């Protein structure tokens, strides 16, 4: 019995999985544009030669039903609900685009006569324009600029829509002016109490925000000049004394708030890194263990004739021999000294040794270890400088 039920369920699931959604299914799900696209695609797949009256009747009925749905939505939508009205008209425009210039388009004269492309674009442009005017009354210049721009864009294939371009520009400029002024005033307020380089850099960023906000309309007051002034005041000047580690210093301190100068006199921070190596060779003797076989004891054994004989056995014995060895040891000492904004000194060591490698082989190993430590130290210094 259970087997029969299982087979029945599997058949049911198989039938459900193989069922293809029809345009009627999609329409019932309220996906109206998708239902039109699905039916249109099916008809187009048959080709014009196989297009028949049944296909035409189904398509006309579906388009009429969808058109009525959108008209009902428009009737129930408040005239000032611009967003909703625009969405409905855009769906009708999408229908128009999908069904235009097809071999079956002549069957949809009622729809095309009622909702031609030009009228739909005009309706959408009007609602965007009216929405922009409404945003202007609320002093929402950014939203107003976007609405007027959309009005211009949707009507662009036909012509210019009223003064939408000018109003889009004017409102965008008003919004940019507000943003620029807000950043400018923030910078001005911070600059009154700024004493640290970090604070100067923050002031510069606000002035740069003012510059960028107004960039499309020209210069905003003296924001660009002040941004450069405070950016320079926020820079930390570093001098690195020449050494083999200078490139590592520049790499670790490659920040937008740090610049390297050519003279220690001009520097806010001076960094000096020196290194010294010591190479030692030690000769020592070590005991090397060896193993050999030695006599252990006799054991009694009875041979084939029944005679008792004594057989010697062996055991392992460990003994040691002296081995002369040479141990090569390289010690690398690196001293880091800083003066100025940060007073700091540190000494780092890297020691490598080998019974086989010489000075030239050990030095690169020690340097790699030392550079890893040095870069970590310099990165922590860069982090500390960012807060000064």
Rounded CA-CA distance 16/124 in Å is 42
Percentage of the chain modeled with pLDDT above 70: 91
Measure CA 24 to chain center: 43
* Burial of residue 273, with CB atoms counted within 10 A of its CB: 0-12 exposed, 13-18 middle, 19 or more buried: buried
- pTM score of the predicted model: 0.73
In this predicted structure, the answer to whether residue 91 has a pLDDT above a threshold of 80 is yes
Cα of first residue to Cα of last residue in the chain, in angstroms, is 82
In this predicted structure, the answer to whether residue 185 has a pLDDT above a threshold of 70 is yes
**Residue range 277-321, pLDDT digits in tens:** 887 767 666 777 888 888 778 788 787 787 888 888 888 888 778
Residues sharing a CB contact under 8 Å with residue 199, sequence separation 6 or more, in sequence order: 190, 193, 234
pLDDT at 367: 83
Rounded CA-CA distance 127/82 in Å is 6
């Amino acid at each position: 019995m259970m087997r029969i039920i299982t087979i029945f369920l599997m058949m049911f699931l198989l039938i459900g999985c193989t069922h293809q959604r029809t345009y009627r299914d999609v329409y019932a799900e309220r996906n109206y544009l998708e239902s039109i696209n699905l039916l249109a695609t099916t008809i187009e797949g048959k080709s014009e030669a196989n297009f028949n009256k049944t296909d035409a009747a189904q398509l006309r009925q579906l388009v009429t039903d969808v058109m009525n749905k959108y008209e009902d939505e428009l009737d129930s939508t408040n005239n000032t609900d611009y967003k909703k009205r625009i969405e409905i008209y855009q769906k009708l425009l999408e229908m128009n685009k999908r069904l235009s210039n097809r071999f079956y388009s002549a069957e949809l004269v009622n729809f095309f006569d009622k909702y031609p492309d030009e009228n739909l674009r005009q309706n959408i442009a009007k609602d965007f324009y009216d929405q922009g005017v409404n945003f202007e009354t609320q002093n929402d210049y950014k939203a107003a600029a976007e609405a007027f721009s959309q009005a211009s864009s949707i009507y662009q294939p036909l012509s210019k829509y009223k003064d939408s371009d000018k109003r889009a520009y004017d409102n965008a400029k008003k919004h940019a002016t507000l943003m620029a002024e807000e950043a400018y005033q923030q910078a001005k307020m911070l600059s009154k109490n700024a004493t640290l380089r970090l604070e100067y850099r923050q002031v510069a960023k606000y002035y740069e925000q003012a510059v960028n906000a107004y960039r499309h309309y020209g210069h905003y007051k003296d924001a660009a000049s002040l941004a450069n002034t405070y950016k320079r005041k926020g820079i930390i000047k570093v001098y690195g004394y020449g050494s083999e580690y200078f490139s590592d210093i520049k790499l670790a301190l490659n920040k937008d708030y740090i610049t390297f100068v050519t003279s220690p006199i001009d520097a806010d921070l001076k960094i000096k890194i020196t290194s010294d190596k010591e190479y030692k060779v030690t000769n020592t003797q070590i005991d090397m263990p060896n193993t050999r076989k030695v006599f252990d004891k006799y054991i009694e054994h009875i041979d084939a004739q029944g005679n008792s004989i004594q057989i010697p056995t062996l055991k392992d014995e460990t003994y040691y021999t002296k081995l002369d060895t040479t141990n090569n040891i390289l010690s690398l000492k690196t001293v880091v000294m800083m003066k100025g904004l940060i007073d700091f000194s540190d000494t780092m060591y890297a020691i490598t040794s080998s019974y086989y490698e010489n000075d030239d082989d050990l030095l690169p190993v020690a340097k790699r270890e030392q550079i890893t430590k040095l870069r970590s130290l310099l990165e922590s210094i860069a982090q500390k400088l960012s807060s000064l």
